[in-house]
Amino acid sequence: MKTIMSEKKVDSNFFKIKLGTLDKKNPTTMYVDAGTYITPTVEKDDYKNDIVSIEKEMKLKLKDMLKNSPTIKDDFILVTDVAIGRISKERGTHFTVQVYFKPSDNEFQQKKTFKQLCKEYMNEYAEKLPSYRQIIEDHGFSCNKTK
């Protein structure tokens, strides 16, 4: 049986965001792919500890948010990717966050299409996006959608 992959772009001032699934007709697993360019606002020799702290805070915030969600199961996978070695005050780098999650099992959720789920999730979680930008900025980085 052939699966139909689908993605939907989400408006954001500081992140390029896509919400997607590998099976549009039966979206049992979905993902969010968010990317931004980060540039240090403070000169340091090494930014590894800052990046690790950002990752930890994002995981904790996401875990707390999903734990109380009736529409998404609270188990998820969060993956970040950033080229730590080439960050400098003059040169930023791309920071990518990917979250894989499952819609809840309740009967109401199972009858929804991918498009309906996307709309519901964005209505529920869009206002929380600035708090993720704030985590990045609290650790001494500026956050921009493009270079």
Question: Does residue 87 lie within any of the structural domains?
Answer: yes
Mean pLDDT by 10 residues, the chain (147 residues): 78 89 86 92 90 91 81 85 85 90 71 83 79 93 89
How many independent structural domains does the chain possess?
Answer: 1
Give me the pLDDT at residue 78, please: 87
* Nearest CA-CA partner of 50 in 136, 145, 117, 133: 136
Give me the pLDDT at residue 109, please: 57
Question: Does residue 103 lie within any of the structural domains?
Answer: yes
Residue 111: helix, strand or coil by DSSP? coil
Give me the pLDDT at residue 85, please: 82
Q: How far is CA 139 from CA 5, 38, 48, 53, 131, in A?
A: 36, 11, 11, 8, 13
* Nearest CA-CA partner of 37 in 81, 93, 91, 97: 93
> Domain limits at 138?
6-142
- End-to-end Cα separation, the chain, in angstroms: 41
Give me the pLDDT at residue 57, please: 94
Indicate yes or no: pTM above 0.75: yes
Give me the pLDDT at residue 107, please: 47
Question: Does residue 147 lie within any of the structural domains?
Answer: no
Contacts of 79 (CB under 8 A, 6+ apart): 97, 98, 99, 100
Question: Does residue 1 lie within any of the structural domains?
Answer: no
β-strand partners of 29: none
- The DSSP output letter for 25 is T
